[in-house]
Structure 1
Amino acid sequence: MTDALKRLSDEGVAIWLDDLSRHKISSGHLGELIDEHHVVGITTNPTIFQKAISSDEKYDQQVSDLAARGVTVDEALRMITAADVRDAADVMRPVYEATGGKDGRVSIEVDPRLAHNTKATVAEARQLAWLVDRPNAFIKIPATKNGLPAITETVGKGISVNVTLIFSLDRYREVIDAYLSGLEKAKSLGMDLSTIHSVASFFVSRVDTEIDKRLDAVGTDEARELKSKSAVANARLAYQAYEEVFGSADGSVEPSERWQTLERAGANGQRPLWASTGVKDPSLPDTLYVTELVAPNTVNTMPEATLRAVGDHGEITGDTVRASYADAKAVLDAVGKLGISYDDVVQVLEDEGVEKFEASWNELLASTEAELKRLTPKEA
């Protein structure tokens, strides 16, 4: 099963798991995925934690203790999720050490209700970094307009960041700029840049979901021919934007002077991370957003079902990105010619993404509150 996953890893794609629970950690299942299935990182989100906390009795003792102390639901939520991320980071620590900090990472997200509040996002990022207290933790910050300066400030304080919720090419370029600005700030303060890492999470499947819906509304043969092609095209052009700044792995594309200056000072590049890689359309191959996005120095974070599908029948044929820039641009141009606005699509996706994150967070708060009530000790 692991041959395809090994080939994927050998091509320079870091395989991360988009899932975490206390059961996965304590049962040894996470360790098995690391040892046998080439998993070298973990991402989390409110939906993942909501499912775990509401269905796993392994949280009961901690929740009962928190209830006995009378903590607020917000504080309880942070203590519970930070404990999971801390324990997972400890399991991942050998990978972190073996890769010089590049992988072995576990991500925890700032409160998505702060997505449009720069100062609060920075404060939350600092609090989470302190609370988890592991060098291989990533703090997830959404790439909203107000999130961009928060990324710069957080990186400038020496905190490693997973920038999430990126849909557009322009916003991705702004994310790269925010990261470099943060490194420059950290450098001016005399920090060791080699200790700061980052990934930029570029969302994939949702782009097809939104554009395909609009193509269906157009209804022509040309529109139908373009279905399920936009997400991969968008991600491939994002990788082209990555190479324009950080250079190519084979040296054929020179890095920017700005990046070269930071790299000489010990800085680490910000890898593109393909997120939302489970297919939403059951008619599509279940490995589509993995096999079509193979390129050096990338991360693909997958639900376990997608991970196992790739291991079982994924066809890894080498780099499927760098020779396809012209075709990718042609796809998005053709979509635009049908009257579908790229700018509108990515703005809708960002707005909906923030709303979905907030809704998931509120569900997570509600689940945590219910568990606190259920496990509150009875008075003697």
Structure 2
Amino acid sequence: MTQNTNLEELCEVGVSVWLDDLSRERIESGRLAELVATKSVVGVTTNPAIFHAALSNDGSYHAQLRELATRGAGVDATVRTVTTDDVRSACDVLAAQFDRTGGVDGRVSIEVDPRLAHDTDETAAQAVELWKIVDRPNLLIKIPATAAGVPAINQVVSEGISVNATLIFSVERYELVMNAYLDGLEAAKAAGHDLSRIQSVASFFVSRVDTETDNRLTKINTPEALELRGRAALANARLAYAAYQRVFETGTRFRQLDVFGANAQRLLWASTGVKNKDYPDTLYVEELVAPNTVNTMPETTIDAFADHGRVKGDTLSGKEASGQALFSRLEAAGVDLADVFDTLEAEAVEKFTVAWKALLDTTEEQLRTLRREG
């Protein structure tokens, strides 16, 4: 098998391609391994909605669910067993990429229960539990970067655990996440952990920023407002990348940890499937190219880029001023950006909580049916 040239070129300029999806059928059929072999995929991200879709539509879980039902397993234990088994298997599929990249890629993420998003201690405790259950060095624990999640990120990293800080929408929150990661590294060093073994990504959400901002601009309905549609998300990403460079490329605090083997916390562009069909389907890939970044994509976006995506070089470095200018124009047009980001975070936590509850309900119904069948 040979790699797709478009995706291979994307990797060559410093973007790691991760798949935003996972199911047992994808693992057992070899489709995940095929994406690794032909589409440059070197990582996987999951979330409650992805697991709910998998367990609702994939018959590959039937035998394990029957066994768990026979043993009298509860719904929470069943979901934990099934999801961690899938993630462990995906980690094994990607083990070669983990070894080849020195632990940078070959990563698979699993998320803590989103119902804990506003509880620091419970989030941290479950993160440690998931790390032990999956028991793979190429695991990432996804922790939402809510006000309560940020100190949990610090605490979990301090224990030598690799973290995917997720649901980041604003640069202000991202700066808190970077500081929490550095705090965690400093504490991990003091506790004697090997910093070179700790990796982290910061999942900065993209397309949802355009969706929310575009809706507000459409309601404002002035020529100035309408002209700004479809531009907020990329401006936000440019500002985020500039913040990354200040901390991890030129910042003295990270440099002091770097000498002990610490790894920079890479920016991961999440929510990169285009939701507005008026926009190019590769928009949030082509315009988010910079060294040492990750783009996690649904398979449809990977396929679109493989077919007609273009690599135009680094599209983020040196763009902070243009991003800030666009933000100033949005504010002048009447968009309250702080409220945009607060709204998006609240909606995202709610959406994943609903998906997690739906996952529990679906699993409970399947267990109930299997017990009745004997």
**What is the CA-CA distance between 1:157 and the residue it aligns to?**
0.5
1:323 is aligned to 2:325: no
Counterpart of 1:142 in structure 2: which amino acid? P
2:243 aligned partner: 241
**What is the CA-CA distance between 1:55 and the residue it aligns to?**
1.1
Q: TM-score, normalised by structure 2?
A: 0.98
User: Is the contact made by 1:216 and 1:223 (CA closer than 8 Å) also made in structure 2?
Assistant: yes
- In structure 2, C-alpha distance between the alignment counterparts of 1:15 and 1:368, rounded to whole Å: 31
User: Is the contact made by 2:203 and 2:269 (CA closer than 8 Å) also made in structure 1?
Assistant: yes
Q: SS of the counterpart of 1:163? A: strand
1:259 aligned partner: 254
- In structure 1, C-alpha distance between the alignment counterparts of 2:280 and 2:236, rounded to whole Å: 18
C-alpha distance after superposition, 1:247-294 (max 9, x if no partner): 1xxxxxxx2111011001111110000000001101110000000000
The partner residue of 1:290 within 285, 290, 312 is 285
Please list, as runs of the form range in 1=range in 2, the aligned pairs for 1:54-133 lying within 5 A after superposition: 54-133=56-135
- Runs of 4+ residues deviating >3 angstroms: none
Q: SS of the counterpart of 1:162? A: strand
User: Is the contact made by 2:210 and 2:230 (CA closer than 8 Å) also made in structure 1?
Assistant: yes
**What is the CA-CA distance between 1:373 and the residue it aligns to?**
1.7
- In structure 1, C-alpha distance between the alignment counterparts of 2:139 and 2:203, rounded to whole Å: 15
C-alpha distance after superposition, 1:152-179 (max 9, x if no partner): 0000001100000000110000000000
1:302 is aligned to 2:316: no
C-alpha distance after superposition, 1:93-116 (max 9, x if no partner): 000000010000000000000000
**What is the CA-CA distance between 1:376 and the residue it aligns to?**
2.2
- In structure 1, C-alpha distance between the alignment counterparts of 2:102 and 2:137, rounded to whole Å: 11
- In structure 2, C-alpha distance between the alignment counterparts of 1:150 and 1:144, rounded to whole Å: 10
- In structure 1, C-alpha distance between the alignment counterparts of 2:68 and 2:271, rounded to whole Å: 33
**What is the CA-CA distance between 1:73 and the residue it aligns to?**
0.5
- In structure 2, C-alpha distance between the alignment counterparts of 1:8 and 1:65, rounded to whole Å: 44
2:221 aligned partner: 219
User: Is the contact made by 1:107 and 1:162 (CA closer than 8 Å) also made in structure 2?
Assistant: yes
Structure 1 spans left out of the alignment, 5+ residues: 248-254
Please list, as runs of the form range in 1=range in 2, the aligned pairs for 1:172-191 lying within 5 A after superposition: 172-191=174-193
**What is the CA-CA distance between 1:374 and the residue it aligns to?**
2.3
- In structure 2, C-alpha distance between the alignment counterparts of 1:40 and 1:224, rounded to whole Å: 38
2:275 aligned partner: 280
Structure 2 spans left out of the alignment, 5+ residues: none
C-alpha distance after superposition, 1:5-59 (max 9, x if no partner): 1111111000000000101111111011001110000000111111111111110
User: Is the contact made by 1:272 and 1:298 (CA closer than 8 Å) also made in structure 2?
Assistant: yes
User: Is the contact made by 1:101 and 1:136 (CA closer than 8 Å) also made in structure 2?
Assistant: yes
2:54 aligned partner: 52
**What is the CA-CA distance between 1:329 and the residue it aligns to?**
1.2
- In structure 1, C-alpha distance between the alignment counterparts of 2:343 and 2:188, rounded to whole Å: 34
User: Is the contact made by 1:67 and 1:377 (CA closer than 8 Å) also made in structure 2?
Assistant: no
Please list, as runs of the form range in 1=range in 2, the aligned pairs for 1:346-361 lying within 5 A after superposition: 346-361=341-356
User: Is the contact made by 2:242 and 2:318 (CA closer than 8 Å) also made in structure 1?
Assistant: no
User: Is the contact made by 1:54 and 1:371 (CA closer than 8 Å) also made in structure 2?
Assistant: no
**What is the CA-CA distance between 1:372 and the residue it aligns to?**
1.1
1:341 is aligned to 2:336: yes
Give the RMSD, CA atoms, in angstroms.
0.9
**What is the CA-CA distance between 1:324 and the residue it aligns to?**
2.2
**What is the CA-CA distance between 1:326 and the residue it aligns to?**
1.7
Q: SS of the counterpart of 1:375? A: helix
**Count of residues in Structure 1 that have an aligned counterpart in Structure 2:** 372
The partner residue of 2:309 within 307, 314, 322 is 314
Counterpart of 1:239 in structure 2: which amino acid? Y
Q: TM-score, normalised by structure 1?
A: 0.97
1:140 is aligned to 2:142: yes
User: Is the contact made by 2:204 and 2:269 (CA closer than 8 Å) also made in structure 1?
Assistant: yes
Q: SS of the counterpart of 2:167? A: strand
- In structure 2, C-alpha distance between the alignment counterparts of 1:155 and 1:119, rounded to whole Å: 14
- In structure 2, C-alpha distance between the alignment counterparts of 1:76 and 1:277, rounded to whole Å: 31
- In structure 1, C-alpha distance between the alignment counterparts of 2:365 and 2:286, rounded to whole Å: 41
- In structure 2, C-alpha distance between the alignment counterparts of 1:261 and 1:374, rounded to whole Å: 57
**What is the CA-CA distance between 1:328 and the residue it aligns to?**
1.3
1:365 is aligned to 2:365: no
User: Is the contact made by 1:290 and 1:300 (CA closer than 8 Å) also made in structure 2?
Assistant: yes
Counterpart of 1:134 in structure 2: which amino acid? R
Tell me the percent identity.
Answer: 55
334-343 or 135-144: which moved more? 334-343
